[in-house]
Amino acid sequence: MCSMEKETLKIGLAQFAPVWMDRAKTLEKALGYAGEAADAGCELVVLGGEAAIGGYPYWLELTGGAQFNSPLQKEIFAEYSRQAVCIERGDLDAARTLARARRIAIYAGIVEKPAARGESLYASLVFIDRDGEIRSVHRKLVPTYEERLVWGHGDGAGLRVHALDAFTVGGLNCWENWNPLARAALYGQGEDFHICVFPGGVHNVEVTRFIAWEARSYCASVCCVMRKEDFPADTPHLERILENAPAVLSTGGTCLAGPDGEWLIAPVGTEEKLLTFTLDHRRVREERQNLDVAGHYTRPDVLRLTVNRERQQIVELRD
């Protein structure tokens, strides 16, 4: 921070249960939290966890998702693909309009279906600025375990940070927050507020304190809640999905840690709610007095990271 920007940033962290496999209703619910955050004076809101809009693929481990050429798996996937977010089609236009009208930046986890990539889906984290412009779409680099059955591998195009007053914000999806090089790619761009999005699970979010302590940054993890009763009645093969499902599939865990690694908001359980907090950039500077992992504690003459931020595509058209 070189100039005299405002030193604080009020944030909102929205933990809720998506309307599973219903893009429009989930987006409507998410934007309700965005409006609530704007009413509370927030300048940035994170809307749910990983794949909140579109839905986490819970069915895979519950219905034999690895069975090849299964009619059941095909039918569920077909609907899952239909409910994914196509940015080029304008599926996020309502979020963009709200961001612009209320002057609030938005991070949202989505299941993305690019217009030009057939039926390949991605777990993506989207940043919309306060002018309503989509500034980055980060596709999860490597889906975790059974997620690879429905999500493709992402690329480095979305490994970007964004200035919000005194702060520089960035984020990653779920277990890629444990990827040291992905974190370093954001640290090296000046990130001092890191956002993790998880499908929901208190067991995952200990990484929040680790990242905050390592980077001397604020770090938030934002999660979803999902209970058996949250599945819509018209979900394809609902009885089969719920047959072996636990009562709670995503246990929440939304939380916030300060630049010293201590909890500012301890992990919240299965409650649907908006959490707010005002970040103070002075705390970042205080903790980086003795450790700055992208500044005075680096040795670029010895160790250096190269990041390819080209959007990967199979066809390059030249007319």
Give catalytic residues, as residue numbers: 50, 140, 174
Distance CA 166, CA 180 (A): 25
> What are the residue ranges of helices labelled H in 16-117?
23-39, 59-62, 71-82, 93-102
Alpha-carbon separation of residue 119 from 23, 33, 51, 228 (angstroms) = 16, 30, 16, 28
Listed residue (54, 7, 16) closest to 37, CA to CA = 16
Q: Is 272 exposed, middle or buried (0-12, 13-18, 19+ CB in 10 A)?
A: middle
Contacts of residue 55, defined as CB under 8 A and 6 or more positions apart, other chains included, come to 18, 20, 21, 26, 80, 83, 111
Kindly give, in sequence order, each residue whose CB lies less than 8 Å from that of residue 154, ignoring residues fewer than 6 positions away.
Answer: 122, 123, 124, 138, 139, 140, 141, 142
Element (H, E) at 211: helix 207-215
Distance of CA 266 to the CA centre of its chain: 19
Neighbours of 310 (CB within 10 A): 8
